[in-house]
Structure 1
């Protein structure tokens, strides 16, 4: 191996390590739901290349309102799937879509875009 092959190999390994770290070990933005005067837990979520925040903490047995604002026209983010709650919603671009839930069980419940590329988690305590 000459020096250029060694440099390319090292750069490729470093890039692969960065990708693994980014998708599996980097810190994720977490938000706890804010309870309104009526006892409803509310969270605003921006959809733009991903979900922000992408980890949402709520309390079990209390109604939840998730306000998804889609701030892009990317076709990947036009659909929201929450299979554990039987939710499938279209998210129109530059509009807010309300999703209402009543989580009865504690646990971690994933939500994704229609293609499964954008991911988030609802943590019920």
Structure 2
């Protein structure tokens, strides 16, 4: 092979590795919610092409209030489901909807849209 083919092959493999890392292996560090005077661990989550932030870190045994604000009209994002906690909420466009629960067991839990295209993580410590 000529040097230019080696270069193109190396760049192509590098680009493939970057795409795999970015879409499947990249993990965000997470956000710790603020504590309200009522004792809730509270965070605002923007729903627009996904969940922002998509990783929330909370403490076990303390009530959590996640406020979802949907800023898009895609049908997939019209609901959020916390399967492990038996919670779900409809998310009308332009409104803030709170989801409240008390995580009792430490671990990592997933929240998602009904189709599973938008996913987030709740890390309970």
Alignment TM-score, normalising by the size of structure 2: 0.85
Partner of 2:79: 79
- Consecutive unaligned residues of structure 1, counting only runs of 5 or more, are none
Q: Deviations over 1:53-78 (max 9, x none)?
A: 11101111111100000011111211
Supply the distance in 1 between the matched residues of 2:14 and 2:95 (Cα, whole angstroms): 39
Supply the distance in 2 between the matched residues of 1:11 and 1:117 (Cα, whole angstroms): 30
For these two proteins, the number of residue pairs brought into alignment is: 125
1:36-115 to 2 correspondences below 5 Å? 36-115=36-115
Supply the distance in 1 between the matched residues of 2:38 and 2:111 (Cα, whole angstroms): 26
Q: Confirm or deny: 8 A CA contact 1:112 1:120 kept in the other structure.
A: yes
Deviation at 1:87, TM superposition (A): 1.4
8-17 vs 33-42, which deviates more? Answer: 8-17
Alignment TM-score, normalising by the size of structure 1: 0.85
Q: Confirm or deny: 8 A CA contact 1:29 1:52 kept in the other structure.
A: no
SS of the counterpart of 2:98? strand
- Consecutive unaligned residues of structure 2, counting only runs of 5 or more, are none
